[in-house]
Structure 1
Amino acid sequence: MTDKPSILFLCTGNSCRSQMAEGLTRHLKSDALTAYSAGIKAQGLNPNAVKVMREIGIDITNQTSNTVDELPTQDIDYVITVCGHAHETCPTFPANAKIIHVGFDDPPKLAEAETDPDKKLDHFRRVRDEIKSFVQSLPEALA
C-alpha cells in the first residue's frame, strides 16, 4: 500500500483561499490526498471564508493559520500556490516537491468596496466554488 500524496496549498496569509482549499480537499478527497495549508505569514482564519464553507457543510474552524515553517515540508509532494504573491515568493521546498500555480481571485480584496454583507459574501462564494471545481479535479490534475 502506498502513502497518499500530500498537498500544501500556499497563500500569502493562510486566511482564506488556502484555508478553503485545504478544507475542500479534506472533505472531498481525503481518501486520495493529505491536505495542508500555509502562508508566507499567518494572519488567522477569515470569518467570511468560515461562513461560506459552512454554507456547503464544511467546518474549517478547527484549521489553524500556519506558516510553512510550522509544517513537515519534507513530506510534501505538491505545493499549490493559490495567489500570485505566494507564487512569486514561494519558499524553497525539498527537490521532490512539485510546485504548481493555480491562482484564484482574492475575496477579501474584492469585497472591500462592498457595503452589502450579502454582496461581500458573494465574492467569497464565487472563489470557494472555483476552488471546489479545482479540488474535484484532483489528484488527476497534478499529473
Structure 2
Amino acid sequence: MAFKTRVLFVCTSNAARSQLAEALLRHTDTEHFEAFSAGTQPTSIDPRTLEALEHLNVNTDGLRSKATGEFSGEHFDYVITLCDKSAAECMTSLKAGEVLSWHFEDPATSSEPDAFRHTLHEIHERIKMFVLVKNKR
C-alpha cells in the first residue's frame, strides 16, 4: 500500500469548518490522503454541517468532534487551521511537516441563510486545489 499524506484540519470547536474539510478531503481523494479533524475547544458537530455534506452526497460516517489533544504525539504531513483563533491556539501540541492557515468564516455564527452550504463550497474549492497541487509532487 502506498504512503498516504496525513492531513489534520483544525478549527476552534470542531463543529463545522474542520468537519466539512475532513469529510471533503476524504470525498475528494482517499487514495493519496488520510484526513482528520480536531478542535482547540471542541463542542459537538452542528447538525447543519451534516445536512450540508449529505446534500452533496458526501459520506459523514465516522465524523465526531475531537480535541487536538487526541492527536498529540502523532505526526501529520499538514496541519491546516481553518480560522485565525485556532491558528494561534493549536500549534504547541501538534507535529506537522507543514502548517497552513486557511481562514473561513464560521457558518455557525453567520446570519446568512445558506452559510453552511456557502462555507462547504469555499472549503471544497480550496481542497480540490490543495489535492491538485500536492498530487503533482
Q: TM above 0.5, one fold? A: yes
Aligned to 1:26: 26
Residue 104, structure 1, aligned to residue 96, structure 2: no
Shift of 1:91: 2.8
Aligned to 2:115: 123
Unaligned runs of 5+ in 2: none
**Runs (4+) off by over 6 Å:** none
Unaligned runs of 5+ in 1: none
Aligned to 1:47: 47
Structure 2 matches for 1:1-143, cutoff 5 A? Answer: 2-71=2-71, 73-92=73-92, 93-94=94-95, 96-111=96-111, 119=113, 122-141=114-133
Structure with max Cα Rg: 1
More strand by share: 2
Shift of 1:73: 4.6
TM-score, normalization: structure 2? 0.88
Distance change (3 Å), C-alpha of 1:61 and 1:41: farther
* Secondary structure at the counterpart of residue 36 of structure 2: strand
8 Å CA contact retained: 1:15, 1:46: yes
Give the share of equivalent positions with the same residue, in percent.
29
CA RMSD of the aligned region, Å?
Answer: 1.9
The count of corresponding residues between Structure 1 and Structure 2 is: 134
